[in-house]
Amino acid sequence: MPASRLLLACLVAVIALIARPASAHPAPFSYLDVELHEQHIEGTLTVHTIDVAHELGFEEPSTLLDERVLDRQDTRIKALLRDRFAFSDGSGAVLSPVFGTPVPSVEQDALRLPYRIEGTPPAALQVDARMFPYDPAHQTFVNIYEDGELVQQFLFGEDSAPQTHYAGTAAGVAAVFATFLPSGAHHVLIGPDHVLFLIGLILLGGSLRRLAIIVTAFTLGHSVTLALAATGTFAPPAWLIEPLIALSIVIVGVDNLLRREGQRDLRPLFALVFGLVHGFGFAFVLREFGLPPGNLAWSLLAFNIGVEIGQLAIVVPFALALAWIRARWPIVAKRIVIGGSLAVILAGAYWFVDRVLNLGSG
């Protein structure tokens, strides 16, 4: 065989191998519509016949489009799909749907399974959907409607976590606060970089007014960029933000050591400028929750309030303790400032190098 024909044959074989999986499963998707009404939830689950046929052991998926076959498989199909998606309320209580009769959709090569859940929809509705684990590429699109209007969309893949929809009511707002406020406080308290930045800012002490200005400047800074990033308006990549957060800690510590009495206090400026950077860091966490479009402003407000509570839980007792020591043992207070600033610099420098190396290599 001439070389040109051999090359052509190999090319055709490769194309056939590549194309085979695509043609075997042209639509690795499922669709879950969730319609919220005053006294009930209803909707439709749409699944491809190829996926159902695989799970039920049918060699020819199209046979499931025959209503007589579908009628005989009614119980098996419901039992199969019942365990593949779940609803629960804010407390974790499971909401059990009642299924209707599966309906074939010939034009989509799919089955449509209606369902209904009696009772008032919860203020926080949690959805989980892993429809067909045998196919790692399979994805499930979830559309949530209120009063006939699409208000939320989720996309579930192989490793997706459950997602929560918050109703556009007073109860929904309360549920948003119950979720996002503790999250904001928790993130500050468990984030050593944010904690050290705050401690570095207040090590030199000052009047209550001065400390209030510093904390307020930090709040203004991170509130602006948190809103920008969380809404998708502007969000720098993590490989840039995370090292900058570490660098901000180093700069604050160095400023503490170099500051001379009578020099301008730059801490409010540092708090404002670096607060902008830290706000992008907060946004990385906030986006993991999946911001509810109908309650976007409330979720941002709740998270910010939580951040402030976390900050105050650190700043107030630490500042009071330093003021008490400074009033009784000034020399000890100076040593705390020097030692604390050195610790802040070393920790920030370590994080900076570590993040540059790890994020850069990733």
Query: Could you tell me the end-to-end alpha-carbon distance of the chain, in angstroms, rounded to an integer?
Result: 47
Q: What is the pLDDT of residue 94?
A: 93
What band does 360 get if pLDDT is binned at 50, 70 and 90? low
The tokens 């030199």 sit on which residue?
Answer: 204
Q: b/e for 331-353, b at 16 or more Cβ within 10 A?
A: eebeebbeebbeebbebbeebbe
* Cβ atoms 332, 192 nearer than 8 A: no
User: Taking 60 as the threshold, does the pLDDT of residue 14 lie above it?
Assistant: no
* Cβ atoms 42, 112 nearer than 8 A: no
* Residues facing residue 44 across a β-bridge: 33, 114
* Segment (H or E) for 105: strand 103-105
Mean pLDDT over the full length of the chain:
85
Whole-angstrom distance, CA of residue 263 vs CA of residue 256? 11
Q: What is the pLDDT of residue 286?
A: 72
357: which 2 tokens?
């190396």
Count of helix runs (H) and strand runs (E) in the chain: 11, 11
By percentage, how much of the chain surpasses pLDDT 90? 49
- Closest of 134, 121, 128, 159 to residue 24, by C-alpha: 134
Convert the pLDDT of each residue in 137-187 to its tens digit.
888 989 899 888 888 888 888 888 888 888 876 777 888 888 889 888 888
Whole-angstrom distance, CA of residue 323 vs CA of residue 205? 7
Whole-angstrom distance, CA of residue 112 vs CA of residue 48? 9
pTM higher than 0.75, yes or no? Answer: no
Q: What is the pLDDT of residue 156?
A: 87
The tokens 């509810």 sit on which residue?
Answer: 292
Convert the pLDDT of each residue in 55-76 to its tens digit.
999 989 999 999 999 999 999 9
Residue type, 123: A
299: which 2 tokens?
């979720």
